[in-house]
Structure 1
Amino acid sequence: MTSTDASPRNAAKGAGFGARYALMLIALLWSAQLLSVVGLLAGNAQAQVAIHFHTTQVAWFMLATNLVGTFIAPFVVKFASMYGKKRVMVIITVLGLIGDLIAALAPNYTLLLIGRGMAGFYAAIAALVYAIARDVFPPRLVGPASGLISGGIGLVALGGPFLSGWLIDNHGFRGVLWFLTAATALSLVLLLVFVPESPVREERTRIDWLGGLLLGGGLASITYGIGKGAEWGWTSGTTFAFIGGGIVAVVAFVVVERVIAHPLFDLSMLARRQVWTVFLATALIAGTVYSAGTINQLLGLLPKIPTISDGLGFSATKAAWIGAPASVLLVATALAAGVLARRVDARLLLGTGAALALLGYVLQSQFHHTASQLLAVGIVPAVGIGLIVAVVPILVIEAVSPQEQVLANGMQGMMQGIVLTMLTQLIFVTMAQDGKVLKGTQFYLDAGFTNGFWLAAGFAGAGLLAVLLIPKGKSLEETEVGQAAV
């Protein structure tokens, strides 16, 4: 009887990825990393969008997507927990595809923003991808699969700049929007054909609409306030109103969740030290490394203008070649980390990644004046980022039960998004203290770039300290994973 019970798990351990799991992995990797593709390509297209539509509000081109994604995230993770992760993934992909089509066809800026806002429905898919990966892969493949899915960001960082340059140079911003439409359509097909539904569900209950509105609206208000703080002024009444109002809404959400019969999130999960420390450390560290890329992008692509700008003036293609070795190393490190996580304490991997990111930003603060310097010192944070992106979902898996997985991913993702938004804006503000405005465009001097790297190093250091708070928990080998496969 014992051998019968154990045989499926042992069989799973003896199998490799195989064609079925490889196709499943590709489908999930594409769905998760499409968010990175959107961020990279849409960010590079902003200048052409502003010129074409003659708008000074081009920030909304990205902000509309982020705000909608933040607002609907609590509902997405709740519906996925009750009705099925694949089902909800398909629904939000369809809604995102409709938004992409509207944006690609938009004759005016207002309709373009409506489309980009609808595309924000897709933003919550990453939380569902990592949750369903836990359920549908065999136990021995959960770690490597999570590492590969996370490490796909290196492929985006490697190929994205080349793709972005080709699309914009040859087809303009419309080419970018149509590519995003095609990429979302491909994601939908891959999900429908290759990804099975997860059998893990929580009990179906009444939806806590009030709690969702308070949480989603509060987080969106905070995100919006941080995003506009540099424009309005960080001490202005409007900035305080949005950020303060958002904080009040989140506090009200906590109160509502404690008294309502069927809360949107089980906040008792956050009372566990194993959970809240993982959320804190991973949000700080991952939010930092994703934000810090802004400094390198501006440093490389802004022109060199004496006394005005100390950018290096690289073409997008040259910048891509400079970053290529680091991107390859990032992918390799993420893959190795996914395998190591079954044998090495994930806290050690995360701490090592944070330490390398910290060291890398310190080095970049001093050595960022030539292509060779950027190429050499960029390798250090790349290894750190590879460890970080691979181990973040693994730590969340180790901290919660299968039934809590999608909700945990959603909560961790929202915390990480807030850190990312806040730090990105702080980076812009810090660099602008040593910058100049020429013909309505903000440029940055060398001291601004230096201080931006030091700010990123400080946040990486805070994340490293937060890792020390995480208690020893179950290892990935001991965690319940692969329910559908087993």
Structure 2
Amino acid sequence: MRSQSPTVRPNVVLAVLASAGIVAALMQTLVVPLLGQLPDLLHSTASTTTWVVTATLLVGAVVTPVAGRLGDMYGKRPILLASIVPLVLGSVVCALASSVLPMIIGRGLQGMGVGIIPLGISAIRDLVPPERLGSAIALISASLGIGGALGLPIAAAVVENSDWRVLFWGSAVLAAAVGVLMYLTLPVVPADGPAGRFDALGALGLGVALVCLLLAVSKGATWGWTSATILGLFAAAVATALVWGRWELRRTHPLVDLRVTARPRVLLTNATSVVVAMAMYAQSLIIPQLLQLPKSTGYGLGQSMLAMGLWMAPAGLTMMVISPFGARLSAARGPKVTLGVGCVVIAAGYASSMPLMGSTWGLLAVTVLINIGVGFAYGAMPALIMGAVPHSETAAANSFNTLMRAVGTSISAAVVGAVLAQLSVTANGHLVPTENGFRIGLLLGCAVAALGAALSATIPADRPGPSVPDPGPDSASDDVVGGGTYPTAPVAAFTSAPPGVGR
């Protein structure tokens, strides 16, 4: 049965994990206002300083599934606490950096903390009564939306009015404070995952495959999609993934249980997650540019970095309002319906951008509508995942779903970036996307969201209700119906900032 400590205080646990979600989201957006200044600050080139973002992406992608499996094996609490350490250490390294290499190392360490997100969701399943599961995870989802929304304006305000190092000293203090709170408030819940050895070779193989894939996707436009390096990276990713898959299938206690992952409900949910992440991230690449480009272009709105962040913030705050409604819809109609509704709303948001992209208020409405859809769609994913995996693999399954979303955002950055680059003109020595380029990018977001709705319709039907008691890993049935919503939007800094942002 589902283990739960009698001394658990759900409200306190939720508040602490929500705070961790806000800090995790803030970490991901810290460097966005600095991207245009980093070459001068770190005495390097623009191409080299993009690794400040890429390092976080690559390390986070590799560590997330590892943290999930370790959480299942040894308990969520110790791995959550361990994930705080690199966040603090990485922030300190970045704050002290005076050249690009220490900054890249520090950002890589910060990327190791990304595992907090799926681990926190999995811990909620252990620490909150079943009847409160949906609303509890909805709160964490909203807190992460708030963190992502507030990160840009806060970081921009600090950069404009203070020393940039304050950003990282502040993040170190926040991460340390969250770590202390987790240590004092999170109860110890016995691990119920596999008791075998950790699959170190499986982690290494998955890491190599992910690094090759995500490096090729994120650097393809810069290094050339048909260059020997990029083609070699794609080939290495495929070859390594095949060898890794064979290895995992032969393991008694694999890093990722591919047989569970191949279940139709899990497989199709993860596939939809990739597509929805692509749709969600397109707005983060396009709308900030439209807000910041000068009015002399005829379609730019001439906003500062700080003003842009403030115009984008309400969209994330909207998730606080909408997430509980997503949880109720999942409880009443099942998370499959919630996911489909979210995809349709995202598509509608992109469609509405065609007549509204000429004003700040119009773009505000667009981002709010898209993020309402994101709140529904991302909110349904853990319910679908947890409803198809044994309790002993909750953290690993959530971590793998987080990884799929990271892959989706990377693909979105590559595709949208390629479209905008192809439809650009030179202005004041810089390539600036044309209005037609932005419109095509937004329509691509609409099309991908529609594809997500179609994919979600193929997911096997689920039973409504926020949760039912878990039969436990030793039960004859491994299926558990989970509920609630899932964290969103700490992915904005996972890929390179859009051209023009921070300039």
Same fold (TM over 0.5): yes
Going from structure 1 to structure 2, the CA distance change for 1:153 and 1:290 (only over 3 Å counts) comes to farther
Q: 1:288 aligns with which of 261, 279, 284?
A: 279
Deviation per residue, 1:362-412 (Å, 9 max, x gap): 221442011132133333223212212322222222222211211111111
Determine the structure 2 residue equivalent to 1:42.
31
Match of 1:101 in 2: 92
Query: 1:388 corresponds to which residue?
Result: 377
**Residues 262 and 155 (structure 1 numbering): CA distance in 2 closer, same or farther, change over 3 Å?**
closer
SS in 1 for 2:9: helix
Shift of 1:360: 0.7
Deviation digits for residues 166-192 of structure 1 (CA, Å, limit 9, x no counterpart): 211112421222222122112212211
User: Cα deviation per residue 1:230-260 (whole Å; 9 max; x = unaligned)?
Assistant: 1011122211111221121111110111223
Partner of 1:367: 356
Note closer, same or farther for the CA distance 1:407–1:325 as it changes in structure 2 (3 Å cut): closer
Q: Is the 8 A contact 2:24 2:147 kept in 1?
A: no
Residue 399 (structure 2) aligns with: 410
* Whole-Å separation in 1 of the counterparts to 2:344 and 2:300: 27
Please state if 1:184 is matched with 2:151: no
Segments of 5+ residues of structure 1 without an aligned counterpart are 13-17
Match of 1:469 among 442, 458, 475: 458
Cross-structure match for 2:478:
none
- Residue 439 of structure 1 deviates from its aligned partner by 6.3
Q: Distance in 2 between matches of 1:123 and 1:110?
A: 21
State the alpha-carbon separation in 1 of the partners of residues 140 and 168 from structure 2: 24
Hey, what's the Cα distance between the residues in 2 that align with 1:413 and 1:440? Answer: 39
- What secondary structure is seen at the aligned counterpart in 1 of 2:69? helix
Task: Give 1:129's aligned residue.
Answer: 120
Preserved CA contact (<8 Å) 1:45 1:176:
no
Q: Note if contact 2:21-2:144 (Cα within 8 Å) is conserved in structure 1.
A: no
Q: 1:392 to 1:151 in 2, by over 3 A?
A: farther
Question: How far did 1:89 drift?
Answer: 1.1
Inter-partner Cα distance in structure 1 for 2:148 and 2:113: 20
Paired residues of 1:356 and 1:383 also in contact (CA < 8 A): yes
Alpha-carbon distance in 2 for matches of 1:435, 1:172? 34
C-alpha change, 1:118 and 1:317, in structure 2 (3 Å) is closer
1:273 aligns with 2:264: yes
Q: Where does 1:305-454 land on structure 2 (aligned, <5 Å)?
A: 305-306=296-297, 310-438=299-427, 441-454=430-443
Whichever residue aligns with residue 91 of structure 2, its letter is D
Q: Deviation per CA, 1:129-170: give whole Å up to 9, x if none.
A: 111111111111111011111122332354333312221111
What is the percentage of aligned positions where both structures have the same residue?
26
Matching residue within 233, 240, 247 for 1:256: 247
What secondary structure, in the 3-state scheme, does the structure 2 residue paired with 1:342 have? helix
2:43–2:99 contact (8 Å) kept in structure 1: no
Tell me how far apart the structure 2 counterparts of residues 96 and 352 of structure 1 sit (CA, whole Å): 35
Letter of the structure 1 residue corresponding to residue 74 of structure 2 = Y
> Helix, strand or coil for the counterpart of 1:343?
helix
Q: Does 1:113 align with 2:131?
A: no
The answer to whether the 8 Å contact 1:299/1:312 transfers is yes
**What corresponds to 2:61 in structure 1?**
70
State whether structure 2 residue 43 is matched by structure 1 residue 54.
yes
Q: Judging changes above 3 Å, is the alpha-carbon distance between structure 1 residues 440 and 181 closer, same or farther for their aligned structure 2 residues?
A: farther
Note the residue ranges of structure 2 that are not aligned, 5 or more in a row.
473-503
- The one-letter code matched in structure 2 to 1:75 is V
Per-residue displacement from partner, 1:173-212 (whole Å, max 9, x unpaired)?
2122222212211221221122223334213212222221
C-alpha displacement of 1:305: 4.2
Matches within 5 A, 1:98-247: 98-247=89-238
| SS, match of residue 333 in structure 2 | coil
Q: Shift of residue 288 of structure 1? A: 2.5
Q: Alpha-carbon deviations, 1:430-451, whole Å to 9, x = none?
A: 1111113456644222111111
CA RMSD of aligned residues (A): 2.5
Whole-Å Cα distance in 2 between the matches of residues 298 and 187 of structure 1?
33
User: SS state of the match for residue 201, structure 1?
Assistant: coil
Paired residues in the alignment total 469
Tell me the SS of whatever aligns to 2:196.
Answer: coil
TM-score (norm 2): 0.87
Q: What is the CA distance between 1:64 and its match in structure 2?
A: 0.8
Q: CA deviation at 1:481?
A: 5.7
Name whichever of 96-105 and 359-368 sits farther off: 359-368
Match of 2:294 among 303, 308, 326: 303
8 Å CA contact 1:332–1:386 kept in 2: the answer is no
The reply to whether residue 83 of structure 1 matches residue 37 of structure 2 is no
* Secondary structure class of the residue paired with 2:425: strand
Larger displacement relative to structure 2 (259-268 or 205-214): 259-268
Aligned equivalents of 1:299, 1:446: Cα separation in 2: 9
Q: Report the alpha carbon displacement of residue 276 of structure 1 after superposing the two structures with TM.
A: 0.9
Greater helix proportion: 1
Q: Which moved more, 1:470-479 or 1:413-422?
A: 470-479
> Structure 1 residues 158 and 30 mapped into 2: Cα distance closer, same or farther (>3 Å)?
same
Task: Return closer, same or farther for 1:426/1:257 CA change in 2, 3 Å cut-off.
Answer: same
Which digits, 9 at most, give the CA deviation of each residue in 1:245-296, with x for residues without a partner? 1121111110111223432221110231121112112332134213432211
What is the CA–CA distance in structure 1 between the aligned matches of 2:109 and 2:61, rounded to whole Å? 12
* Residue aligned with 2:245, SS: helix
After TM superposition, the score normalised by the length of structure 1 is 0.90
Cα distance change on mapping 1:114 and 1:363 into 2, 3 Å: same
Give the 3 Å change call, closer, same or farther, for CA 325–122 of structure 1 in structure 2: closer
Task: Look up the equivalent residue of 1:480 and give its one-letter code.
Answer: P
**Within 2, Cα distance between the matches of 1:258 and 1:377?**
44
Contact persistence 2:330–2:337 (CA under 8 A) = no
- Partners of 2:354 and 2:266 lie apart in 1 by 34
What is the aligned partner in structure 1 of residue 488 from structure 2? none
